[in-house]
Amino acid sequence: MTRARVSLALPLLGALLLAAMIGATGFGAEIVPVSAVLDTLLARLTGATPADLGIDTIVWQLRVPRTLLAAVVGAGLALAGAAMQTLVRNPLADPFLLGVSSGAGVGAAAVITSGLFAGAGIWALSGGALLGALGAATLVFLIALAQGGLTPLRLVLTGTVLGSAFAGFSSFLVFRSTDPAAAESVLFWLLGSLAGADWTTLALPCTVVVACGAILFAIAGWLDALTLGADTASSVGVPVRHLRIGLFVLLAVLVGVLVAVSGGIGFVGLVVPHAARMIVGPRHRNLLPTCALGGALFLVIADAATRILVRPTEIPVGVLTGLIGAPIFLLLMGRRRYHFGAS
């Protein structure tokens, strides 16, 4: 039954994702018909001259990179959420559990309020956020390791406590700033946005998500064993300690890069893995590709909705993912047949 679901779910999600990406490319302050979107994409992919240069600029230079980034970030957050829930064996874990998002917030707030890394131009904010995210993950790692090892309980508690501290420090930086617009800028960034996407911002997140996804898929069997507990995993030959350290580093890099390019987009990494488990079961060989496609689909649709709900302006995508994700998560948890980690 599970194999049949997988064989049906993956092609269906792939088709829905492709349709959503094409449709999302047409939405924005100016609606572009699907036929015009397809003509522009066909012209670009075949090297022909676009029929309408204005539409070509809107579609190819602005919306295609943004839609691709939404798919990449959504896939990465869903993969990170599934791996994080396995690492700490906690169904409430999300990609930001290790304090990475709050640490990125400190870096972003420092750049916005003090002009740090001003010489880096458009990369200043992303660079500051990435350094803050990796610094936060490193601190969580060292503290948890010094207190007895990377056990699930220590990771959860250390990440939660330090995340609160980092969030408080971000607020302090905003409070001390003399720029009246700093608070608004920091808040907008923390709520997540893909508005700054362009072709130059795609290379790093694409590379990191593909590489991390491939590594997770390669160790899917170990992840299945870890879900059953450290003792069970050790009994079947899984190097639990090294696996936990490797997962921690992988998740820190993956989430740090995603937060740096998109801000703190919540609920994707929490809701999508649970929905995927209900569709294809808990085995990671089936779960991970389903999470990647489902996360990409979810965020592409959410990002498109942010551009049309209050046209011609837009709302932060993190606001919409929270409003959509919360009722979906509660609905999933209300299903009696659902159990986290069940076989």
CATH number at residue 247: 1.10.3470.10
Residue 209 domain flag: yes
Q: Specify the DSSP class assigned to residue 57.
A: I
Q: Domain residues for 86? A: 68-333
Of 162, 143, 144, 9, give the one whose Cα is nearest residue 87: 144
Number of structural domains (the chain) is 1
pLDDT attached to residue 14? 95
- Give the 3-state secondary structure of the chain: CHHHHHHHHHHHHHHHHHHHHHHHHCCCCCCCCHHHHHHHHHHHHHCCCCCCHHHHHHHHHHHHHHHHHHHHHHHHHHHHHHHHHHHHCCCCCCCCCCCHHHHHHHHHHHHHHHCCCHHHHHHHHHHHHHHHHHHHHHHHHHHHHHCCCCCHHHHHHHHHHHHHHHHHHHHHHHHHCCCCCHHHHHHHHHCCCCCCCCHHHCHHHHHHHHHHHHHHHHCHHHHHHHHCCHHHHHHCCCCHHHHHHHHHHHHHHHHHHHHHHHCCCCCHHHHHHHHHHHHHCCCHHHHHHHHHHHHHHHHHHHHHHHHHCCCCCCCCHHHHHHHHHHHHHHHHHCCCCCCCCCC
Residue 20 domain flag: no
| Per-residue pLDDT tens over the stretch 243-257 | 999 999 999 999 999
Residue 82 domain flag: yes
Residue 92 domain flag: yes
User: What parts of the chain have a pLDDT lower than 70?
Assistant: 1-2, 116-122, 333, 335-343
Question: Residues with Cβ < 8 Å from 246, sequence gap 6 or more?
Answer: none
Residue count (the chain)? 343
* Cβ atoms of 275 and 328 closer than 8 Å: yes
| 290-301 exposure pattern, b = at least 16 Cβ within 10 A, e = fewer | bbbbbbbbbbbb
pLDDT attached to residue 175? 82
Residue 327 domain flag: yes
Task: Report CA-CA distances (Å) from 139 to 57, 93, 229, 246.
Answer: 44, 19, 25, 16
Degrees (nearest 5) of the Cα angle 118, 122, 128? Answer: 60
Residue 310 domain flag: yes
Residue 14 domain flag: no
Residue 6 domain flag: no
pLDDT attached to residue 121? 57
pLDDT attached to residue 70? 96
* Cβ atoms of 93 and 85 closer than 8 Å: yes
- For residue 290, what are its two tokens? 């389903």
